[in-house]
Amino acid sequence: MTPLLTGKVALVTGGARGLGRAICRTFRAEGARVAFTYARNEDAKNELLRDLGADGLAARVGVCDVPGTEAFLRSIEDAFGPLDILVNNAAITQNLPLALLEEDDWDRVMDTNVKGTFLTSRVVLRGMMRRRKGVILNVGSLAGERAIEAPIHYCTSKAAIRGFTEALAKEVARHGIRVLDLAPGLLEDGLGRNLPEHRLAEYLKHCALGRVGTFEEIARLAAFLVSERNAYMSGATIVADGGV
């Protein structure tokens, strides 16, 4: 099969670990050159950069750091050429009930998961609009789609990603840009780790496939969604949850 992303240039936020890392590796395997950001884990960043070789680039840039993102975008475009694909993947959560949530907890989760998606998108959109092409894939979650037991601030942030995706898709379609929301169910590791036992059991009970998803399964779907083979899809939320 012809690779899906030959010659494309992609930026993945929070790409050093978990789902982001699988997306970086899969995009590379599908022919893209891949840049990624991370928050603090230097070892994970170095390991992935080694895997990506000359077709990889990384920067320690927070998703709300606009000057840092602008500078990194300039480096990406100097090294690889114009950016074709942005994956807003970075997100955080905390397993806390509402009564124990502090205002700061709420702000941290909303800032990383929602404001960071807005700010990073705004930085890359200027160039995409000028070139009249581009794809933005926002990583949402089943937690933003259905009434499942999950932290309130995290669910709220992921529901916001759906609204952001739909509104932005309408606004930028005239500039030749597609925007999508990929909403996975529970995955093998990452933000889903340390889940209370009863919540994992509840998920598996309601999941038709009876298992959690793998990062690789979601990364392969992501590669298809941003590819030109998926040219007629925009504004959609794609739920990949094994049938919950």
Tell me the catalytic residues.
154
Half-sphere exposure of 151 (CA within 13 A, CB side): 20
CA gap 25, 170 in Å, rounded = 30
**CA nearest to 242, candidates 199, 198, 185:** 185
SS3 165: helix
Q: What is d(CA 51, CA 100) in angstroms, rounded to the nearest whole number?
A: 41
> Which residues sit at the interface with ligand NAP, rule CB under 6 A?
13-14, 16-20, 37-41, 44, 62-63, 89-92, 112, 116, 139, 141, 184, 186-187, 190-192
- CB of 224: closest distance to ligand NAP in angstroms? 17
Max CA separation in the chain (angstroms) = 52
Instruction: Closer to ligand NAP by CB, 208 or 231: give it.
Output: 208
Closest distance of CB 194 from ligand NAP, Å: 11
One-letter amino acid of 80: F
The dihedral through the CA atoms of 190, 228, 32, 78 has a sign that is negative
Radius of gyration of the chain (CA): 17
Q: Given the complex with ligand NAP, which of 20 and 134 has the nearer CB atom?
A: 20
CB-wise, 189 or 228, nearer to ligand NAP? 189
Q: What is the 3-state secondary structure (H, E, C) of 19-61?
A: HHHHHHHHHHHCCCEEEEEECCCHHHHHHHHHHHHHHEEEEEC
